[in-house]
């Protein structure tokens, strides 16, 4: 074992000091849990202190970190004040995330710890985005992404490693291998003897080091960080450091090799590093005692600070979900959008798909922080329906980035880049594929603002096509998942039906401070319409009255508008005056526009492309009944897709989806 003196006396003592502070925090939290002062699931870091302490010593102030729920060593080493860490553990407003994140979601943008995820392996795609932003901006910043040996077998990590190697991103992937994935030993979960050896398969550097030895970590991590900082790409660094306790606080340890555990505890990094400092004459017993006493006092003061800190006010429940909390569909400040639609002086006739392309071109030309990423979006392909055709030729491959087929990596990279102030537009080829990356969308993009106490925002736009009701795509390429997205607090969801709105809503999404899902229906893609020239914004959260009427209100969005407008035309021939409402936006919901219309007509039919059972129509129907029950002339009717997978057979597909004939049947029955 190389002497600690090889890295310098000051560095060696500094690393030990950080290790002691980590251990003091770790033990302080466990004592609080044992005493009943704290109550949460906690994952101790005993045995892994040297990894975080050493890597932290090698990072610059502006470098970034992404880590996982076994986090206390990483966040202390990154420089977050211990008082803020403990206040977060106590769920207090003075915590690093205002008490909204808690022990599994600690973050601190001030120190550069951008994300701690409670989802195994999910941080790796986000780390890529942070690295991509640094690469695009030329900042020289490095991102360190820490995860355990269990996460090394998660698909998101594989996607991230491949993308990082492909783009030579300045990311160091640190597998803190404590030899247990929850309750399963490394040998029982992985046939290969080394995680680092996998790097060769991705075409990137890989190194293995002794995670209990600061010198071993210092040398290997130093090479990896230098490699990243000088533009030579990522490294997969495996730091082996046996776990010294069960998976979580209070967990049993019977699954562990008891003899080996005893040996590992006797040779814990804190014990061996302290001994080496003394043996090499780098520090005296008195110096080390002062370090240990100071750490204990720091933790005691932090616990006292946290215990006395102010609790969160009940009003905080509805804050930091969106940048503007008045846009929430519920809550004390909800109220919606009151902005008028734009009225461009000049318009041009173009297809819906051309309008999408025009919006992306406009955004790329006007804002250098905007970039696109997705599968096959670069020329000559230009996307599966040519929505991005010509853009990579015009704006370059750095800003119109074709990606591997890796939905988790695509959305994760967009999230990470957005945390650095970029405005990524990620394309998921068809809506069904969102299920592959729903963790990144629902657990990360949607929640990071809230979990960070408002310290971070995720201004990303995720474009996806719904390909239903155009024939030949079948059950796995035709679904509409707007209800799923709407059910996830933190996501905005738009579903334009016209070319004008396709451009204006997409431009609004791109400049919005929150994550936006833009659902673009293939059935609308080749429908022409008047589109404004230049940059204009259709407000997110404002419905449009497409036709005034007095007898019944027909409500839809996306391609459902084609069916209700056709039904309204037929009804007019029968002497029935239908008011037609295009929601345009699912979240925020313009409920006032809906209620105002139904208050006038006394009748409402809600039509949507998605399955009717548990669909968005159920929510809207409930809202109308709750607010206008005494004024309704008939119960609200719903018409959505049938409760079946989407058939390939054309006859069955026509039966599956809602249509104008079904709307007419509902309307006539209601009016009778």
Summarize pLDDT for 406-422 with one digit per residue, the tens: 999 999 999 999 999 99
Measured distance CA(670)–CA(305) in Å, rounded: 63
Summarize pLDDT for 517-568 with one digit per residue, the tens: 999 999 999 999 999 999 999 999 999 999 999 999 999 999 999 999 999 9
Q: Are 234 and 171 in contact (CB under 8 A)?
A: yes
pLDDT at 472 over 90: no
Q: Per the structure block, which two tokens stand in for 468?
A: 């239903």
**Angle value at C-alpha 170, between 117 and 142, nearest 5 degrees:** 70
Q: Return the CATH architecture of domain 347-532.
A: 3-Layer(aba) Sandwich (3.40)
pLDDT at 189: 87
Summarize pLDDT for 132-176 with one digit per residue, the tens: 999 999 999 999 999 999 989 999 999 999 999 999 999 999 999
Average pLDDT, the chain: 94
Alpha helices, H only, 230-374: 258-266, 269-279, 285-308, 352-366
Q: From the CB of residue 226, how many other CB atoms can be counted at a distance below 10 Å?
A: 13
pLDDT at 469: 82
Which residues does the annotation mark as catalytic?
477
pLDDT at 335 over 90: no
Nearest to 505 by CA among 448, 440, 444, 587: 587
pLDDT at 470: 80
Q: From the CB of residue 279, how many other CB atoms can be counted at a distance below 10 Å?
A: 10
The residue to which tokens 């310098």 are assigned: 8
Give the residue, 159 or 188, on which the prediction is more confident.
Answer: 159
Residue 496, phi then psi, degrees to nearest 5: -70, 155
Q: Locate the domains of the chain by residue range.
A: 4-308, 347-532, 544-671
Please report which confidence band the pLDDT of residue 467 belongs to, taking 50, 70 and 90 as the band edges.
confident
- Quick one: average pLDDT of 417-444? 96
Summarize pLDDT for 277-325 with one digit per residue, the tens: 999 999 999 999 999 999 999 999 999 999 999 999 998 999 999 999 9
- Quick one: average pLDDT of 262-282? 95
Q: What is the CATH number of domain 544-671?
A: 3.40.50.920
Contacts of 595 (CB under 8 A, 6+ apart): 623, 624, 627, 628
Summarize pLDDT for 384-405 with one digit per residue, the tens: 899 999 999 999 999 999 999 9
- Quick one: average pLDDT of 358-367? 98
| Helix 49-58 and helix 214-229, axial crossing angle in degrees, nearest 10 | 40
Measured distance CA(600)–CA(578) in Å, rounded: 11
- Quick one: average pLDDT of 206-235? 97
pLDDT at 186 over 90: no
Summarize pLDDT for 476-517 with one digit per residue, the tens: 888 899 999 999 999 999 999 999 999 999 999 999 999 999
**Of 15-29, 245-259, 577-591, where does mean pLDDT reach its minimum?**
245-259
Same CATH topology for 347-532 and 544-671: the answer is yes
Q: Per the structure block, which two tokens stand in for 178?
A: 């404590």
Domain 4-308 maps to which CATH number in 3.40.50.970, 3.40.50.300, 3.20.20.80, 1.10.357.10?
Answer: 3.40.50.970
pLDDT at 336: 67
């Amino acid at each position: 074992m190389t002497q600690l003196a090889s890295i310098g006396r000051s560095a060696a003592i500094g690393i030990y000091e950080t290790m002691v502070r980590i251990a003091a925090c770790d033990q302080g939290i466990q004592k609080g849990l044992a005493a009943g002062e704290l109550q949460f699931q906690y994952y101790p870091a005993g045995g892994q202190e040297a990894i975080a302490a050493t890597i932290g010593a090698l990072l610059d102030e502006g470098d970034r970190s992404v880590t996982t729920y076994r986090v206390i060593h990483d966040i202390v080493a990154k420089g977050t004040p211990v008082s803020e860490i403990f206040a977060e553990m106590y769920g207090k407003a003075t915590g690093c995330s205002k008490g909204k994140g808690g022990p599994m979601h600690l973050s601190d943008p001030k120190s550069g710890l951008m994300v701690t995820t409670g989802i195994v392996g999910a941080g790796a795609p986000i780390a890529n985005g942070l690295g991509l932003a640094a690469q695009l901006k030329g900042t020289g910043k490095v991102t360190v992404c820490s995860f355990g040996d269990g996460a090394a077998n998660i698909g998101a990590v594989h996607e991230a490693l491949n993308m990082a190697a492909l783009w030579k991103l300045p990311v160091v992937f640190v597998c803190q291998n404590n030899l247990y994935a929850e309750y399963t030993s490394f040998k029982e979960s992985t046939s290969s003897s080394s995680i680092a050896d996998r790097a060769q398969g991705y075409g990137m550097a890989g190194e293995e080091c002794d995670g209990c030895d600061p010198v071993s970590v210092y040398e290997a991590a130093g090479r990896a960080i230098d490699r990243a900082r000088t533009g030579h790409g990522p490294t997969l660094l495996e730091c082996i450091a046996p776990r010294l306790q069960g998976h979580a606080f209070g967990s049993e340890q019977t699954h562990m090799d008891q003899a080996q555990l005893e040996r590992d505890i006797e040779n814990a990094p804190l014990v061996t590093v302290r001994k080496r400092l003394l043996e090499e004459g780098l520090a005296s017993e008195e110096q080390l005692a002062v370090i240990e006493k100071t750490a204990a006092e720091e933790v005691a003061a932090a616990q006292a600070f946290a215990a006395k800190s102010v609790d969160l006010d009940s009003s905080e429940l509805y804050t930091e979900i969106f940048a503007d909390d008045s846009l929430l569909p519920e809550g004390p400040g909800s109220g919606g959008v009151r902005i008028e639609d734009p009225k461009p002086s000049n318009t041009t006739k173009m297809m819906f798909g051309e309008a999408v392309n025009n919006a992306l071109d406009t955004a790329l030309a006007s804002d250098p922080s905007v970039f696109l990423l997705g599968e096959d979006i670069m020329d000559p392909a230009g996307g599966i329906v040519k929505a991005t055709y010509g853009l990579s030729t015009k704006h370059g491959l750095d800003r119109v980035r074709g990606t591997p087929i890796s939905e988790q990596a695509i959305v994760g990279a967009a999230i990470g880049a957005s945390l650095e102030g970029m405005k990524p537009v990620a394309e998921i080829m068809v809506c069904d594929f969102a299920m592959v990356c729903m963790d990144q969308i629902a657990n990360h993009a949607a929640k990071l603002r809230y979990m960070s106490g408002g310290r971070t925002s995720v201004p990303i736009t995720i474009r996806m096509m719904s390909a239903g009701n155009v024939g030949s795509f079948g059950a796995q390429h035709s679904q509409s998942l707007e209800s799923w997205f709407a059910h996830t607090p933190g996501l905005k969801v738009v579903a334009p039906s016209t070319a004008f709105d396709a451009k204006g809503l997409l431009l609004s999404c791109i400049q919005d401070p929150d994550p936006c899902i833009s659902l673009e229906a293939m059935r609308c893609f080749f429908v022409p319409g008047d589109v404004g020239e230049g940059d204009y914004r259709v407000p997110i959260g404002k419905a449009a009255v497409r036709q005034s009427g007095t007898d019944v209100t027909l409500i839809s969005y996306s391609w459902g508008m084609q069916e209700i407008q056709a039904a309204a035309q037929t009804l007019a021939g029968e002497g029935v005056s239908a008011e037609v409402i295009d929601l345009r936006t699912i979240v925020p919901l313009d409920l006032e526009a809906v209620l105002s219309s139904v208050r006038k007509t006394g009748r409402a039919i809600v039509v949507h492309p998605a399955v009717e059972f548990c669909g968005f129509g159920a929510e809207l129907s409930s809202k109308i009944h709750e607010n206008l029950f005494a004024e309704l002339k008939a119960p609200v009717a719903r018409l959505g897709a049938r409760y079946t997978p989407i058939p390939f057979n054309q006859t069955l597909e026509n039966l599956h989806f809602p249509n104008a004939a079904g709307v007419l049947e509902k309307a006539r029955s209601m009016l009778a």
